[in-house]
Amino acid sequence: MSEQFSVKLQKFLDDFDSQSDISVPDAVHQRVATKDKVTTEEIPAEVIARNVEFLTQHGFNNSDALWLSSKAFHSHICNVLLSSCGDDDDDDEVGSMVETFQSGEKFIQSSTLNRLAVNELVSFCQTYFKDIVHAHSSIKLVGQIPSYSVLSVRNRRRKMEDRFCIVSDFRLLQIPEKQSLVCKCTENDYLNSAISLFAIFDGHGGPECALYVSKHLAYNLCNSASFPSNLRESTLEAYERTERNLLAKCHRENIKSGTTCLACVVDNESIHISWLGDSMVAMLNRFGEMKLLNHKHSPSNMDEWRLIKDNGGAIIEVQGESRVNGWINVTRSFGDYHLKPPLLSLPQYVRFARCSSQSLLVMASDGFWDGMDICKCRELVISFYAERRDKGEDLADYLLNYSITEGGSSDNVTLIIVYLLEREELADSLRSVKISC
């Protein structure tokens, strides 16, 4: 594995000249980042997320991209960026790019930060190539990381407003305050197995909030004082911090978009699910039984209806659909500052104990479920394995294809399949299951 990493890292560096100025955000990033401002508090998550995306675009897997991006930031990039942001001296190159809000808080333009982050990542890899390869070969993580498949498509919508975030193992983030998470786990350590995050953000009114939360929620979760010993508390803290900083950004930059959120944290003992809005997750067991693990936060839910009413809001019918204050068909979200209150940002949280009969999770934005009900989803998963399609096809692609072509979904669709069993074991257990509901 370390030899493969070394070859991949060398190929990555061969693509760039030491004098190159690298700036490769995609079209969406360029558009969103035009007037986007990043505060000093937000820099770590922004830089790591930008570089993870950059490395995965260049062939690194999620684990290696996460590890290398985090190592580069905490070993090198933070010294370049944060020291300049903290100084009053504008003589250095980075310091001259730092600006100040009227409140006195310092910030840097997102487009500038993206360029600096990638340039410094490449510089770090060029300078410390041998040390990086050696450090990578020394990684010894206890516990199994779940495998997964992910697809995210614009479908027939004009804009793509969905985002997703995957952290294959939080120990790879290497936050200095969490050094006990990093590659030194023993049976006495409080974290001696993988903790993974899979999250989907379904934006509305624009992609800005979905993009922001996809970068910051995982970092805020790992940075919580109660992580990983109390995942419920650290989840609530991460949501609250992310929402607080996002609303401040929305007010500063007049961002009126919002996003739902569905997050699944998986460790060897539990599955922790938290959510805002109408994205849903279902679980299939080895006996072919499938059930939803959460419900939609919508005005048609009487409990949610009461919460909106108690928070001073009104539920208004618009073209046959119940909407909060006549605007939005979910009752909880990130962002949407013009609707808070009455819209809520407190997530619901549920925990399920892991057991050997659990096979996989199907996580998806509402665009997927628009063209798929739970019974059909179960039927398709079982038939996929019964027909041995797993030998050459991807389950996520198979399900998404049906939702769009047969189910008629026209919305953005993001789908994540999390495998709780080894794929061969999963396939063997489902081949003899009856397809009918």
Residue 287, both tokens: 């006996």
The full set of domains in the chain, from first to last, is 1-139 (no CATH), 142-297+332-437 (3.60.40.10), 302-331 (no CATH)
> In whole angstroms, what is the distance from residue 368 CA to residue 413 CA?
5
Q: Is the Cβ–Cβ distance between 305 and 299 less than 8 Å?
A: yes
Percentage of residues in the chain with pLDDT exceeding 70? 86
Q: pLDDT band for 338, please (50, 70, 90 cuts).
A: very high
Given a cut of 70, is residue 18 above it in pLDDT? Answer: no
Q: Is the Cβ–Cβ distance between 98 and 108 less than 8 Å?
A: yes
> In whole angstroms, what is the distance from residue 313 CA to residue 330 CA?
13
Write down the pLDDT at residue 437: 64
pLDDT digits (tens, 9 = 90+) for 38-66: 998 999 999 999 999 999 999 999 999 99
Q: How far does CA 160 lie from the centroid of its chain?
A: 16
For residues 307 and 91, which has the higher predicted lDDT (pLDDT)?
307
Given a cut of 50, is residue 29 above it in pLDDT? Answer: no
pLDDT digits (tens, 9 = 90+) for 361-372: 999 999 999 999
- Tell me the pairing of strands 37-39 and 258-259: unpaired
Q: pLDDT band for 32, please (50, 70, 90 cuts).
A: very low
Write down the pLDDT at residue 144: 79
pLDDT digits (tens, 9 = 90+) for 147-185: 999 999 999 999 999 999 999 999 998 776 655 444 443
> In whole angstroms, what is the distance from residue 197 CA to residue 361 CA?
13
pLDDT digits (tens, 9 = 90+) for 134-143: 999 988 776 7
Write down the pLDDT at residue 383: 95
> In whole angstroms, what is the distance from residue 431 CA to residue 437 CA?
15
pTM: predicted TM-score of the whole model, two decimal places:
0.92
Q: Is the Cβ–Cβ distance between 38 and 108 less than 8 Å?
A: yes
Q: Write down how long the chain is.
A: 437
> In whole angstroms, what is the distance from residue 186 CA to residue 180 CA?
10
